[in-house]
Amino acid sequence: MGDTIRLKLKVWRQEGPKAPGRFETYDLDGISEHISFLEMLDMLNQRLITEGKTPITFEHDCREGICGSCGFAINGQPHGPDPGTTVCQLHMRTFKDGETLVLEPWRARAFPVMKDLQVDRNAFERIQAAGGYNSVNCGNAPDGNSVPVGREAASEAFDAAACIGCGACVAACKNGSASLFTSAKIGHLAMLPQGAAERDRRSLRMVIQMDEEGFGSCTNTLECEAACPKEISVRWIQRMNRDYLSAALRGKRP
């Protein structure tokens, strides 16, 4: 087979949020096994531009699996078949010569399609803005070592903070739930002493905002954990639910 492969791509094309969508088929050959998936799409887009056609819209930025802006489903799997990998980190050696790949955007009510493979994920930003921060008392900066953090707590906080907000968890969930994303954003602050003071308010506000955005409920099918490119554990959802119920039962206000 050599170092190149050929593929048949069935790509979701949609002009805008209210326009009807459709799949279009493209045959692409001479694809190096060593390039990334997004570089392969760049090749296809260059060909479409040369032919005077509209290139495929897809979101991306860092192309290093850090920013979380890229993401779509490949053969029904968010970010494709490789576990713990964003679509920008996926390489063409993963696929077989002559394979057919179906590319479509995240499917969730709270993520309306903007164009082609790009969706509007601003709902995540609104959840974050509802309480995913520590309030700042503007004064002199505290000494870096003034608030000790235990190694175990710091390690767990870092695991949750690894969430990049790509939305794969929502796309993988049959209910379109954002519980894994929301719980990770709540959890990494709750594990640190700096976030303890606002733990109740943060849990209430962010869960309420998540529900208002139209995300579905978590039913513990664990697909979100399987699809997450940073392999965030579903145990954060359990902690979020516990914090939310505790705050609600004690009559705390958001």
For residue 205, give the CATH number of its domain: 1.10.1060.10
Are both 162 and 52 inside the same structural domain? no
The pTM score is 0.92
Q: What is the pLDDT of residue 2?
A: 59
In tens digits, what is the pLDDT along the chain, a chain of 254 residues?
459 999 999 999 999 999 999 999 999 999 999 999 999 999 999 999 999 999 999 999 999 999 999 999 999 999 999 999 999 999 999 999 999 999 999 999 999 999 999 999 999 999 999 999 988 776 777 776 777 888 999 999 999 999 999 999 999 999 999 999 999 999 999 999 889 889 999 999 999 999 999 999 999 999 999 999 999 999 999 999 999 999 999 888 88
Residue 220 is part of which domain span?
Answer: 122-249
Phi/psi for 156 (5° steps) reads -65, -40
Are both 183 and 231 inside the same structural domain? yes
Rounded Cα distance between 157 and 151, Å, is 10
Are both 103 and 132 inside the same structural domain? no
> Is 183 inside any structural domain?
yes
The single residue listed with the structure tokens 């078949």 is 81
Are both 76 and 105 inside the same structural domain? yes
Within 13 A of 1's CA, how many CA atoms are on the CB side? 13
Final residue of a structural domain among 59, 80, 114 = 114
Are both 232 and 191 inside the same structural domain? yes
Listed in sequence order, the residues at least 6 apart from 38 whose beta carbon sits closer than 8 Å to its beta carbon are: 58, 60, 63, 70, 87, 88
Are both 217 and 146 inside the same structural domain? yes
> Is 76 inside any structural domain?
yes
> Is 53 inside any structural domain?
yes
Q: What is the pLDDT of residue 138?
A: 66
Are both 240 and 158 inside the same structural domain? yes
Q: Is the dihedral of CA 233, 128, 243, 111 positive or negative?
A: negative
Final residue of a structural domain among 55, 90, 114 = 114
Q: Rounded to the nearest 5 degrees, what angle is found at the Cα of 26, between the Cα atoms of 24 and 32?
A: 145
Are both 49 and 109 inside the same structural domain? yes
The total of structural domains in the chain comes to 2
